[in-house]
Structure 1
Amino acid sequence: MPYIETRDGTALFYRDWGTGRPVLFCSAWGMDSVEARGVMADLVGHGMRAISFDRRGHGRSDDPGRGYDYDTLSDDLADVIEHLDLHELILVGHSMGGGEVVRYLTRNGDDRVDGIVLLAATLPFMLATPDNPDGLPGEVVAELRSSWRHHMDDWLIENADAYVGAGLPGCSVSLLARDAVLNSILGTSRLAAMECNRAVVETDFRAELPAITVPALLIHGDSDASISVELGGRKQADLLPDSKLLVYENAPHGLYLTHPERLTLDLLAFAAETRQPHQNAAATMP
C-alpha cells in the first residue's frame, strides 16, 4: 500500500491516480482520502492527476496521539508534496483542509503551487473574540468537544441532514452515502477528532490570507450549516489578494456529495486559468 513517512515518523496513507497535472485534495475534519474520490475520478478522466491522503489519526494513517495543530498538519502536507515531487500543483482544501492549504503556503512558499481552491473552508477564524463577534462561543465549542468522548454518534445523527442539505433543491443524497460520511467520522481517532476541532475553531488565519498571492478559487454553499458563507467565503474573498468567490445556491457543507459534477467543471476551469506565466512562455518558444 502507498504510504509515506513524515519528518516525525508518522506513516500517512495516500491515493495517487492518473499521470497529468496534479491536483491534491486535503479533506474535511473527520474525513479521509475517500472523501473526494468521485471528483478525483472525474479529473483523471480529463487527463489530470488526482491525489489525496489520510490526515494523521484519520483513515489508514498512523494515530500518533499528537500533532493535530496546523503547523504539524501543514508539515505533513509538505512531506506528501515533496515525497511525490509535485509541481504546477492545484491544492484543494475542504473545510478543515483549507487551513492546511493556507498554512502550507505561509510556511513553505508557493514555488510548487499554481493555485488553491478553498471549498467550504473553515476560514479565516471560527472563534468568537472581541474583534470577531460573529464567531462561535469558546465555552459552547469546548462543551461540545467534551461530549464527543462518549456521544459522538448522537451528535453525528443530529447533524447529518444539515451536512448533506436534506430538503434543499438539488441535494439528493442517498442514506448509504450519508452514512458513509458518518462512519468515516465515527471511525476517526477520537483524540484526533477533538484536537483537530480545537485547531479548526481556535486558529486565526486572518493575518495569513493576505500574504497568499497565488490565485484562489473560493467555493461556498449559501446553506452551509457548518460555516456560513458570510463567516467563511465572503471574509476569505476580502482577505485574499487574488481570489474569486463562487456561491452555490441551495448548497450545504458536504459539496462533494451534493454538487460533484459542478465541482469538477469548476476545478477544471480553474486549473486551465492558473498555469504559471513561465510555463506558457516556454510552450511558445521555438
Structure 2
Amino acid sequence: MHLITSVSRLASSSRRNILATTLLYTASLTVRSTSAVGRDSKSAALSIGKSDGASFVTTSDGVRIFYKDWGPKSAQPIVFHHGWPLSADDWDAQMLFFLGKGFRVIAHDRRGHGRSSQVSDGHDMDHYAADVAALAEHLDLRNAIHVGHSTGGGEATRYVARHGRDRVAKLVLIGAVPPLMLKTESNPGGLPLDVFEGLRRRLAANRSQFYFEFASGPFYGYNRPGAEPSQAAIWNWWRQGMTGSSKAHYDGIKAFSETDFSEDLKSIAVPTLVLHGGDDQIVPAADSAPLSARLLKHSTLKVYDLLPHGLCTTHPDIVNADLLRFVTA
C-alpha cells in the first residue's frame, strides 16, 4: 500500500525519476525483509534446538523414527507402542490423560508407519525392538513404563526382554499378540495361516478399501448388533493407516502373526499388566492374554467382557483408570 501511494504522488515526474524512486523503495523493503528473515532464521534455529514435542531419532541402519515427547523430563516416562498399521496418534486419549497426571509421555511411529522412514527392509520384531532401544537411549529413558497395544504389545515385549532390563520399571500389554497368533502344533488354539494370507491379499488388492472396512467392522466391534459406529474413529484409523507404507504393513502381518514371544515373556521379571477385550475379533483373548500371563513372572490379568480389540479408543475411561492404578501402585 505504501509503495502504491509513493508512485501515485510522482505521477507528474519523469519516468526515470519514477523508476529510481520505485527501485529505491523496493530496495529498502528488501533490506528490511532480509533483516527480518535473518531474525526469523535465527529464531527458527533456536527453536529447532529445543524440544518441541515432536522429533526424530536415527537408528544404526539409517532409519528415521518419528516420536512425540511430552511433559517434564524429570517425570517418570510412559512409552506407548501402537498397533498395526497405525501410528503414535492412536494413543492420543492415553497420552493426554497421563500428561495431565504429571507423567512424561512418549510415543513413536514404527519404521514404515506414520511419519517414520518408509524403508524397504527391517519390518520384523527384532528391528522394531532395536528401534525402540535406539529411542530409549537417545532420550536416556530410565524407570520407564512401556505400554503396548496389539502389534505394539509384541514390540514392547521383545524390547523389554532383550534391551530394556536396566531401563524398564513396568510393562502393560493390551490386546497384545503374544505369545503367538499363528496356529501351530504347539499352539493349536491359534489362527490358521489362511487368515493372515487373506489380510495380505486384501491389502495388496485395495489397501484403502481394506482399511476402511477393517476399522468399520471388527477392529472396534462396530459389526456387532447394537453397536454405534463412530465415523470419526473409523476415518482416523484409516488416516493413520494410509499414512504408512504398504510394504511395511504387508511385511508387518508376518511379524505380528508368526513371531513366537514365549521365551521373551518367560524372561521378563518386571510387573506386567495384561489387559484384553473379551470380544476381541482381531487377537482372540483365549489364545493370548491368559497364556501370556502364565508365562510372565509377575503378571496381573484382566479381561473385559464384550470389549473389542480397539478398546483404548472405544473405552478410554475404563482403560485409563486401570492403567493409572497399575502405574501408580
TM norm structure 2: 0.79
Change (3 A) 1:172 1:270: farther
Question: Equivalents in 2 of 1:95, 1:125: separation in Å?
Answer: 12
Runs of 4+ with >3 A deviation? 167-173
- 1:176-215 aligned at under 5 Å gives the runs 176-215=232-271
Bigger Cα displacement from structure 2, 33-42 vs 181-190: 181-190
Give 3-state SS (helix, strand or coil) of 1:58's partner.
coil
Per residue, is there more helix in 1 or in 2? Answer: 2
Change (3 A) 1:157 1:64: closer
Bigger Cα displacement from structure 2, 146-155 vs 118-127: 146-155
1:221/1:249 contact within 8 Å kept: yes
Question: Equivalents in 1 of 2:202, 2:229: separation in Å?
Answer: 28
Letter in 2 for 1:246: K
Q: CA deviation at 1:167?
A: 6.7
- 1:134-283 aligned at under 5 Å gives the runs 134-159=189-214, 160-166=216-222, 172-273=228-329
Letter in 1 for 2:235: D
1:171/1:251 contact within 8 Å kept: no
**2:154 matched residue in structure 1:** 99
Question: Equivalents in 2 of 1:113, 1:130: separation in Å?
Answer: 34
2:102 matches 1:32: no
Count of aligned residue pairs for this structure pair: 273
Q: For the aligned residues, what is the CA RMSD?
A: 1.8
Change (3 A) 1:239 1:228: same
Change (3 A) 1:109 1:18: closer
Q: CA deviation at 1:213?
A: 0.6
Q: Report sequence identity in percent.
A: 38
Give 3-state SS (helix, strand or coil) of 2:69's partner.
strand
Letter in 1 for 2:248: A
Letter in 2 for 1:174: S
**1:18 matched residue in structure 2:** 71
Question: Equivalents in 2 of 1:29, 1:110: separation in Å?
Answer: 25
Higher relative contact order (CA 8 A, sep 6+): 1
Question: Equivalents in 2 of 1:204, 1:116: separation in Å?
Answer: 18
Letter in 2 for 1:131: S
Give 3-state SS (helix, strand or coil) of 1:36's partner.
helix
Q: CA deviation at 1:63?
A: 0.7
Gaps of 5+ in 1: 274-286
Change (3 A) 1:3 1:96: same
Bigger Cα displacement from structure 2, 170-179 vs 189-198: 170-179
Question: Equivalents in 1 of 2:314, 2:307: separation in Å?
Answer: 7
1:256/1:263 contact within 8 Å kept: yes
Q: What is the aligned counterpart of 1:116 among 162, 171, 180? A: 171
**1:68 matched residue in structure 2:** 123
Q: CA deviation at 1:154?
A: 3.3
Question: Equivalents in 2 of 1:214, 1:172: separation in Å?
Answer: 38
Question: Equivalents in 1 of 2:300, 2:306: separation in Å?
Answer: 19
1:218/1:237 contact within 8 Å kept: yes
1:221/1:250 contact within 8 Å kept: yes
Question: Equivalents in 2 of 1:63, 1:131: separation in Å?
Answer: 35
**1:278 matched residue in structure 2:** none
Letter in 1 for 2:205: H
Q: CA deviation at 1:30?
A: 0.5
Change (3 A) 1:77 1:18: same
Letter in 2 for 1:17: W
Larger-Rg structure: 2
Q: What is the aligned counterpart of 1:82 among 111, 132, 137? A: 137
Question: Equivalents in 2 of 1:122, 1:149: separation in Å?
Answer: 23
1:169/1:250 contact within 8 Å kept: no
Bigger Cα displacement from structure 2, 110-119 vs 171-180: 171-180
Give 3-state SS (helix, strand or coil) of 2:131's partner.
helix
Change (3 A) 1:226 1:78: same
Q: CA deviation at 1:249?
A: 2.1
